[in-house]
Structure 1
Amino acid sequence: MDSLTQIVLGAAVGEAVLGKKIGNKAILYGAIAGTIPDLDVFASHFTDTVSALAMHRGFTHSIVFSVLFAPIFGWLVSRYEKYKDFKGWSWLFFWALITHPILDAHTTWGTQLFWPLDLRLAFKTIFVVDPLYTLPFLVCVILVMFQNRTSKKRRLYNNIGLTMSTVYLAITFLLKSLAFTKFEKALQRENINYTQLDTRPSPLNTILWNANVETNDYYLLGDYSFFDTKNITFKTYPKNHDLLGDLLENEKVKRMIAISEGWFTINKIDDKLYYNDLRFGLMNFEPNSQDFVFRYLIDVDNFGNVNFIEEEKTQRDGKKLIWSLWERIKGN
């Protein structure tokens, strides 16, 4: 999830663990702990794109990391804070650290919660930014901050925030199931034979859902809003994996394919190859759009070294996406 959401979750967890004993400092340290796992993003400054993607939400988002570092952070804080309970601080950091990857596991990217096992847990029930999850939760945390640390209202507001956010996460599983069923029926109606069907919420909401469908030679991309009145239609995207040629045997290309779980297409434009990660869909809902959220130029230098260069998005692209989403959420 985004940084603000993880700060809010960490703050609420910190409050639940030590709020009654240390007041708003529990919120402060919980918020800090809630952001620590995402420090792995700095790997992008020291390594190539593929390695950075492989590391993201890896070790720092694991149970192992939480178990190892919670007592370390707990010991450090207990050395200079007036509240000296090492066990209490360790529990605060553990729960704030571990809830971060558990929440991230609900997103499309997922987490390697069970690192070092090569297993990425991704429920794909909530987008990385979801105001309906975050904003009510944030309001509750703010209300908590203005209450006396022994106040019953303080615990009440915090419990309401934790409960509402948890219930919302549970509801997203139901919404995903309903959307999945809709896509299944649409494929049956069209007599489409497929090997895989993958669904996920579109950005910023859980009303509009996207689907990736794999067949032998191509992918189908579809979308469905709970306000739709017309049948689901699918757009066809050839795989074009053969365009990679000998690059299919390149280790970096193999790693990229593994990272995207095999959901990718290749485009050739002006003799340049582009790698499209289908897991995050398109920037708009226009017919035959090739404007994928994550698109990479496959750059091969004179020595045969392969690099993936991400195609950057602009603020204008973001505004266009939001407008396109709003129009599509309202139904077809």
Structure 2
Amino acid sequence: MDSVTQAALGACIGGAIASRTLGRAAIIGGAALGTLPDLDVVLDYGSAVANFTQHRGFSHSLFILVPLGVALALALHRWKPQLSLRRWLAFTLLILVTHPLLDTLTTYGTQLFWPLGSPLGSNSIFIIDPLYTLPLLFAILYGLLRPPAHRALYASLALSSAYLLWALGAQALVDSRVEDQLADRGLAEAPRMVQPMPFTTLLWRVTVLDTDERLEIVTGPFEGDRPLTVERFPRDPALIDRLASFAEGQRLIWFTDGFLDVRVRENRLLATDIRLGVPGAHPFTFVIARQDPDGHWSATASTREPRPAMRNDALRAFWSRLSGEAQVLCMASFEALPAGETCS
């Protein structure tokens, strides 16, 4: 999740555990500790792909955070012994561990067991979701004004947790909604990703990988038997194989679980993470290799391409689809259409 949300979660947990003893300092300290794992963004790992795939790595690993939490609790207990060691352990461990656990519900990917295994991401909540964050922020404000505010802090944690459960349920409903139609197309076993559209859990994006194309579907958990609009985007297996011949290409495939768009432009091999953003405005595109005049490819230290701009009317189109005013949202053009029309 975004850093504001992580700080808010840490502040509410810290306040719920220790504000009766530490007052406002428990909320402020919880917010600071809640953002600690994300400080890895200041590190430079040497290339654009390395920086992209190392984020949420060691700093989000339970193998690092649990010992760190114990060490911090012991040190803080020596500094403020009026709070019991058990509560200090609860303070540090819950704040540090819930950070990566919350991140695993997003799409980016979290290396929860670094250096072992692959990144984990359930794709169940968008990285910024006001309905999750706002209850936490209201409780923090109340807790700062009228500490210890235990009821408000506990209530906000309960509401935000219930919202996460709803997100998981909505994701399951959407997955079930598309499953039969994908089976009819022979794609029941094809890799697919079901994730919320920005800032909401009422509208979801389904991405399905076939051999030479990918399918994009936008639908919601309450849309019943409304026909699905399926858009197709080309995939080139030969370019994917070429990407896999380079070390940083292999790293990207591993990190994204293969949800990549690979293209050649101006003698450069470009790989785009199609999990994040929307078609035409994916934020992470990397140059992996370059082709010389003789047609030979050679790896290059990866660089990141500038983020493309969204259409000026993208927000209006998105709201039209979310509100039900439009029944089709074309991902290729991010254009909202009435019922019965199809994307070009």
Same fold, judged at TM 0.5 (above): yes
Return the alpha-carbon distance in structure 2 between the equivalents of residues 266 and 58 of structure 1.
25
Return the alpha-carbon distance in structure 2 between the equivalents of residues 129 and 319 of structure 1.
21
The equivalences for 1:34-53 within 5 A come to 34-43=34-43, 45-53=44-52
Contact 1:194–1:214 (8 Å) recurs in 2: no
Match of 2:260, as an amino acid?
F
SS at match of 1:317: coil
- Give % identity: 29
* Equivalent position to 2:303, from 271, 291, 309: 309
Could you report, residue by residue, the CA deviation over 1:227-252 in whole angstroms, capped at 9, with x for unpaired residues?
A: 75841122212221313665532211
Please give the TM-score of this superposition, normalised by the length of structure 2: 0.83
Match of 1:298 in 2: 288
Give the CA deviation at 1:189: 5.5
Give the CA deviation at 1:86: 5.3
Contact 1:53–1:259 (8 Å) recurs in 2: no
Contact 1:199–1:211 (8 Å) recurs in 2: yes
Computed over aligned residues only, the root mean square deviation of the Cα atoms, in angstroms, reads 2.7
- CA 1:210–1:42 in structure 2 vs 1: closer, same or farther (change >3 Å)? same
Match of 1:10 in 2: 10
Match of 1:140, as an amino acid?
A
* Equivalent position to 1:225, from 208, 220, 223: 220
Return the alpha-carbon distance in structure 1 between the equivalents of residues 28 and 126 of structure 2.
26
Gaps of at least 5 residues in structure 1 are 284-289
Match of 2:319 in 1: 326
Match of 2:285, as an amino acid?
R
Match of 1:111 in 2: 110
Gaps of at least 5 residues in structure 2 are 328-344
Match of 2:22 in 1: 22
SS at match of 1:297: strand
Return the alpha-carbon distance in structure 1 between the equivalents of residues 243 and 131 of structure 2.
43
Contact 2:45–2:54 (8 Å) recurs in 1: no
Identify the range of structure 1 (99-108 vs 242-251) with the bigger mean alpha-carbon deviation: 242-251
Could you report, residue by residue, the CA deviation over 1:146-196 in whole angstroms, capped at 9, with x for unpaired residues?
A: 2243xxxx1111111010000000011110011111222333465656522
SS at match of 1:262: coil
- CA 1:97–1:224 in structure 2 vs 1: closer, same or farther (change >3 Å)? same
Return the alpha-carbon distance in structure 1 between the equivalents of residues 14 and 284 of structure 2.
35
Higher helix share: 1
- CA 1:323–1:275 in structure 2 vs 1: closer, same or farther (change >3 Å)? farther
- Pair 1:200-2:195 in alignment: yes
- CA 1:58–1:202 in structure 2 vs 1: closer, same or farther (change >3 Å)? same
Match of 1:317, as an amino acid?
M
* Equivalent position to 2:207, from 205, 212, 234: 212
Contact 2:105–2:125 (8 Å) recurs in 1: yes
Match of 2:275 in 1: 279
Return the alpha-carbon distance in structure 1 between the equivalents of residues 283 and 220 of structure 2.
20
SS at match of 1:258: helix
Match of 1:234 in 2: 230
Give the CA deviation at 1:308: 3.0
The total of aligned residue pairs comes to 320
Return the alpha-carbon distance in structure 2 between the equivalents of residues 214 and 238 of structure 1.
10
- Pair 1:253-2:246 in alignment: no
SS at match of 1:279: coil
Match of 2:144 in 1: 145
Give the CA deviation at 1:13: 0.8
